[in-house]
Amino acid sequence: MLTIRNFNQRIECDSAKMTLETLQSFKGLSLSISYIAPSGLNRVIFVTVNLDGEVEDSYNATKIDLTYLTKIFMLELAQGKVNG
């Protein structure tokens, strides 16, 4: 499960598609995505959603798309943290 955070707002997403659609609804804002990495540590990705709804990593401009998010969910599924 990924958690999208926008200041005091928290939205938990249980699929890559839901995560991307939710992120795209925050056009023009910067947000964070958090999840548990394979190491067991909490991982945070800071993202910016442009006015066209495209999502990028705020620090290295990596495109955050459905493929990127699916990889994260596959890692969590392999660890038994997501119901398949």
**pLDDT grade for 68, boundaries at 50, 70 and 90:** very high
Q: Answer whether residue 83 is part of any domain.
A: no
Q: Which two tokens stand for residue 15?
A: 């699929």
Pairwise CA distance, residues 39 & 30, whole Å: 26
The pLDDT value given to residue 75: 78
Residues in the chain: 84
19 found inside a domain = yes
pLDDT at 83 over 70: no
pLDDT value at residue 36 = 86
Does residue 84 sit within a domain? no
pLDDT at position 77:
65
pTM (2 d.p.): 0.84
Q: What whole-number distance in Å separates Cα of residue 52 and Cα of residue 24?
A: 8
Residues 6 or more apart in contact with residue 38 via CB below 8 angstroms: 75, 78, 79
Determine contact, residues 13/26, Cβ cutoff 8 Å.
no
Q: Which domain holds residue 32?
A: 2-78
6-49 pLDDT per residue, tens: 988 999 999 999 999 999 999 999 999 999 888 888 999 999 99
Number of domains in the chain: 1
